Amino acid sequence: MNAAAHEDGEIGGRSVRPRDAATLVLVDRSAPAPRVLLGLRHSRHVFIPGKYVFPGGRVDPTDGKMAAVGDLDPISARRLGARLRRPSNARARALALAAIRETGEETGLLLGRRTEEKRRPPASEWQRFVDAGVIPDLSALTFVFRAITPPKRPRRFDTRFFLAFRDAVGAELPDAIGPEQEFVDLKWMTFAKAESADLPTVTKVVLAAVARRLELAATAQPPVPFFYVRHGRFHRDEIA
């Protein structure tokens, strides 16, 4: 199988490359039944309007330049580079940091460790972490899912989904949601309740995969599901 083939699609005979994106599946284990964080997207959004989704978004060029503590676990780092034309540790790091940054922007939850050190951020999007005294923690993330938006959609993303737990949140900022924000509502739902929420198909599939993973031993690293469309056919692979 051509490792690079998954990165391209066709729209009107023109090659379209999906943009790198990252999403965080944040789970709260403080109650007997784990709960997952989902945000309701504004109905005016072009991409997935009016649906509950995980926080996330596209990778910015400066994400990889943000200071962080910890490292991705070696299995996640290796899997993030699978089936790419130009895999690199820098790209894997940028994907993980994008998931952390986007979650901070959309939910006010800053994933990381408290620090007294005040570094100048690489972009204004990271300023909230500096102001709150939180430095992103890459070791809190595990790569668990990959999906590429099918061709002929208004926007296409090659999205990597990461799993993290609420106890890795270093600070919670107020006023992150509202009518003028990315999310108009934010809810912690049990996996059973989330199944009945208004979710995109891929979100439902990721929820099921994460629920199965949580049932395994803490040290287990099952293969990462990889969903994409190629030549008009749906494919489900695994990244071992």
Using an 8 Å Cβ cutoff, are 201 and 54 in contact?
no
* Contacting residues for 89 by C-beta, under 8 A, at least 6 apart: 77, 81
Question: Rounded distance, CA 181 to CA 54, Å?
Answer: 15
Question: Rounded distance, CA 23 to CA 146, Å?
Answer: 10
CATH number of 5-239: 3.90.79.10
pLDDT string in tens for the chain (240-residue length): 233 334 443 333 454 789 999 999 999 999 999 999 999 987 666 566 678 999 999 999 999 999 999 999 999 999 999 999 889 999 999 999 999 999 999 999 999 999 988 889 999 999 999 999 999 999 999 999 999 998 877 789 999 999 999 999 999 998 888 777 888 899 999 999 999 999 999 999 999 999 999 999 777 899 999 999 988 899 999 999
Supply the pTM of this predicted model. 0.91
Q: What is the pLDDT of residue 2?
A: 30
